[in-house]
Chains A and B, each alone.
Chain A
């Protein structure tokens, strides 16, 4: 057992270690292997969440050329809509989740109509501000409706499962499973289905795709829906781990940006790798340094990357 007499903070759902509430363990002079494994596992879990959010963000950027500042709000909305059906109306978790995801995708359709489409032809750079404004609207609307006390989202998957050398709740395993399956399905979809190929073609060359008769607007809408759908999935999966609050999307989208830039814009594999890497790095930092400063790491990485490789993001380098 660890030196402190308990394995970190036991959260109400009886996890292995909840790195989020872990006090500094800097006093140990040996690397605690158990601790490391648990940190890695947690990092992987949260990293999967980052990955799902980042894939959506990077796809929307790759195909529409828009960096959606409101992306985090769809993560948040997924969780809140699931809350409405799950907690307020008593529906089972899985059902409310699916309903939430579908509804959020519908909302995103409206969102795209108001905040993105008017600018795509005119002045795409304005989408920065329009999506930012939209994120404020959504976030504050949610706060108006549900207040700012954190809300719970309960899941039937809260039982801890013993996997050899570590204990994880089923929910966390679910996140890993759903995440992995989702990513694989997405990959297969993009690679082998007709629509997937259409999307990839549009990402590579919009003008050529349009010339060949591809309905670009439809591709935009589909991509946007898929991207926000993934964010909503992340939302319903991760929300049960802690609490829901109106601004939970803000932190998430920032992490999403870090991942997108880490992994390379418009690169889905990059988002996967980047998301998991960020999650693990944060978890290790939280375990061995301090949980308060773990967020700083992510942002610092972001800044360093943006500065070391700006030409990778900007296209042709000028003298």
Chain B
């Protein structure tokens, strides 16, 4: 990758970071800041599903299970069991990962539609468990009064992260960390191995790569991030219900990833922007917005299946190759 492209890419990222940091100053309204927090959480969701759809190359229709599980796990651990939130959130991440290991180990033996159906079936089972194990989860009534996130040591000093502003920065930190994690993995030998598996599986196997093991690994990472997103959601809204496990929360990340551009680092952010901001702007429209989104998804699949981010990258690449013949890198 040539120097000009790398510089431009780094500047874009830096600029993006600055903008992200300054956004709450631009949007002073609590309602808009609320949207910003949701945007952040959706970024996490999109980044996590992107690993499955973009890097493994399979469509999971059951991602809501991990989102919901993370939320409920952290909520139950912090309220019923009494963990401090700073502990319940990582615990929820680990629990999601364990479930992800179990489900991934079983489901990833299958491909394509069979994998999709299996993830859907698992998600349904989890939804049913959450809905019906009323003693643990309060069932359809929802789990309320979830403790807020409190930073610091109890008894010494406490910093409540409850307002939209504070929570936004908290989520931003999470997004930054997750992004860094994914970036480091992608640009490493492990990332190369994932690429090999996705692009030419027989070749990958012929040099000693065990595709199944790597897929499971990627799946577990993905579910852990989804669990993190769920926990973040739970401690912001402080109420969750079994709806969190419904197809909606599997469909939206899928849309974000497909429309935004799977397999890229930029794609999930674009998708999250589109699908986090738009629903809120059209909140009054109600159910009909889902019709639009699903239609939008369908249109994207037909006309631009690779997603917006990839389209942009290809566009830039073509434009640049007119100037210089060297190869360019990822945005």
A interface residues (Cβ-Cβ under 8 A, vs B) = 67, 69, 114-115, 118, 123, 125-126, 128-130, 132-134, 136-137, 140-141, 143-144, 148, 250, 254, 257-258, 261, 292-293, 295-296, 299-300, 302-303, 306-307, 310, 313-314
From B121, B251, B258, B286, name the one whose CB has the most chain A CB atoms within 10 angstroms.
Answer: B121
Q: Say which residue of B59, B122, B129, B288 sits within 8 Å of A129 (CB atoms).
A: B59
From A134, A140, A254, A258, name the one whose CB has the most chain B CB atoms within 10 angstroms.
Answer: A140
Find out whether the CB atom of B114 lies under 8 angstroms from the CB atom of A310. Answer: yes
Q: Is the interface of B mostly helix, strand, loop or mixed?
A: helix
Q: Give A222 to B236 CA distance when docked, in angstroms.
A: 51
Q: Which residue of A lies closest to B294 (CB)?
A: A136
B302 at the binding interface (Cβ < 8 Å): yes
Find out whether the CB atom of A250 lies under 8 angstroms from the CB atom of B247. Answer: yes
Q: Give A114 to B113 CA distance when docked, in angstroms.
A: 19
Find out whether the CB atom of A133 lies under 8 angstroms from the CB atom of B121. Answer: no
Find out whether the CB atom of B128 lies under 8 angstroms from the CB atom of A123. Answer: no
Q: Say which residue of B59, B121, B287 sits within 8 Å of A140 (CB atoms).
A: B287
Provide 11 A-B residue pairs closer than 8 Å at the C-beta atoms, listed in order of the A residue.
Answer: A69-B116, A115-B298, A133-B298, A295-B124, A296-B125, A296-B128, A299-B121, A303-B118, A306-B114, A307-B106, A310-B114
Find out whether the CB atom of B111 lies under 8 angstroms from the CB atom of A314. Answer: yes
Q: Give A128 to B293 CA distance when docked, in angstroms.
A: 17
Task: Give the A-B pair count, Cβ closer than 8 A.
Answer: 101
Contacts A295-B124, A302-B118 given; does A137 touch B301 at CB 8 Å:
no
Find out whether the CB atom of A296 lies under 8 angstroms from the CB atom of B112. Answer: no
List the B side residues contacting A257 at CB < 8 Å: 117, 120-121
Give the distance to chain B from A311, nearest Cβ to Cβ, in Å: 10
1/0 per residue, CB under 8 A from A, across B75-115: the answer is: 00000000000000000000000000000001001111110
List the A side residues contacting B124 at CB < 8 Å: 254, 295, 299
Give the distance to chain A from B101, nearest Cβ to Cβ, in Å: 15
Q: Give A134 to B305 CA distance when docked, in angstroms.
A: 15
Find out whether the CB atom of A293 lies under 8 angstroms from the CB atom of B298. Answer: no
Q: Say which residue of B109, B116, B128, B251 sits within 8 Å of A136 (CB atoms).
A: B251
Give the distance to chain B from A173, nearest Cβ to Cβ, in Å: 31
B25 at the binding interface (Cβ < 8 Å): no
Q: Give A261 to B61 CA distance when docked, in angstroms.
A: 18
List the A side residues contacting B26 at CB < 8 Å: none
Give the distance to chain B from A264, nearest Cβ to Cβ, in Å: 13
Q: Give A292 to B113 CA distance when docked, in angstroms.
A: 27
B163 at the binding interface (Cβ < 8 Å): no
Find out whether the CB atom of B301 lies under 8 angstroms from the CB atom of A140. Answer: no
List the A side residues contacting B291 at CB < 8 Å: 136-137, 140-141, 144
Q: Which residue of B lies closest to A148 (CB)?
A: B287
1/0 per residue, CB under 8 A from A, across B235-260: the answer is: 00000000000010001001000100
Contacts A137-B298, A144-B288 given; does A67 touch B113 at CB 8 Å:
yes
Give the distance to chain B from A315, nearest Cβ to Cβ, in Å: 11
Find out whether the CB atom of B298 lies under 8 angstroms from the CB atom of A134. Answer: yes
List the A side residues contacting B254 at CB < 8 Å: 129, 132
Find out whether the CB atom of A310 lies under 8 angstroms from the CB atom of B121. Answer: no
B290 at the binding interface (Cβ < 8 Å): yes
Find out whether the CB atom of A128 lies under 8 angstroms from the CB atom of B59. Answer: yes
Q: Give A133 to B293 CA distance when docked, in angstroms.
A: 9
Q: Give A192 to B134 CA distance when docked, in angstroms.
A: 54
List the A side residues contacting B305 at CB < 8 Å: 123, 126
List the B side residues contacting A140 at CB < 8 Å: 287-288, 290-291, 294
Q: In the complex, given contacts A67-B117, A129-B59, A310-B109, what are 9 additional A-B residue pairs having Cβ atoms less than 8 angstroms apart? A: A67-B113, A69-B116, A128-B113, A144-B286, A144-B287, A296-B129, A299-B121, A299-B124, A306-B110
Q: Say which residue of A126, A137, A258, A302 sits within 8 Å of B295 (CB atoms).
A: A137
B132 at the binding interface (Cβ < 8 Å): yes
List the B side residues contacting A129 at CB < 8 Å: 59, 254, 258, 297, 301
Q: Give A115 to B114 CA distance when docked, in angstroms.
A: 19
Give the distance to chain B from A248, nearest Cβ to Cβ, in Å: 13
List the B side residues contacting A130 at CB < 8 Å: 298, 301-302
Q: Give A134 to B296 CA distance when docked, in angstroms.
A: 10
Q: Which residue of A lies closest to B288 (CB)?
A: A144
Contacts A140-B294, A144-B291, A303-B106 given; does A128 touch B112 at CB 8 Å:
yes
List the A side residues contacting B121 at CB < 8 Å: 254, 257-258, 299, 302-303
List the B side residues contacting A133 at CB < 8 Å: 294-295, 297-298, 301
Q: Give A118 to B300 CA distance when docked, in angstroms.
A: 13
Give the distance to chain B from A69, nearest Cβ to Cβ, in Å: 8
Q: Give A296 to B133 CA distance when docked, in angstroms.
A: 13
Give the distance to chain B from A245, nearest Cβ to Cβ, in Å: 13
Q: Which residue of B lies closest to A147 (CB)?
A: B287
Q: Which residue of B lies closest to A301 (CB)?
A: B121
Q: Give A134 to B290 CA distance when docked, in angstroms.
A: 11
Find out whether the CB atom of B118 lies under 8 angstroms from the CB atom of A306. Answer: yes
Find out whether the CB atom of A126 lies under 8 angstroms from the CB atom of B301. Answer: yes
List the B side residues contacting A128 at CB < 8 Å: 59, 112-113, 116
Find out whether the CB atom of A143 lies under 8 angstroms from the CB atom of B287. Answer: yes
The list of the 8 closest CB pairs from A to B, nearest first, reads: A136-B294, A140-B290, A67-B113, A133-B298, A299-B121, A137-B294, A133-B297, A292-B132
Q: Say which residue of A126, A300, A313 sits within 8 Å of B125 (CB atoms).
A: A300
Q: Give A141 to B287 CA distance when docked, in angstroms.
A: 8
Give the distance to chain A from B63, nearest Cβ to Cβ, in Å: 13
1/0 per residue, CB under 8 A from A, across B18-47: the answer is: 000000000000000000000000000000
Contacts A125-B112, A141-B291, A299-B124 given; does A293 touch B132 at CB 8 Å:
yes
Q: Give A296 to B258 CA distance when docked, in angstroms.
A: 30
List the B side residues contacting A258 at CB < 8 Å: 121
List the A side residues contacting B120 at CB < 8 Å: 254, 257
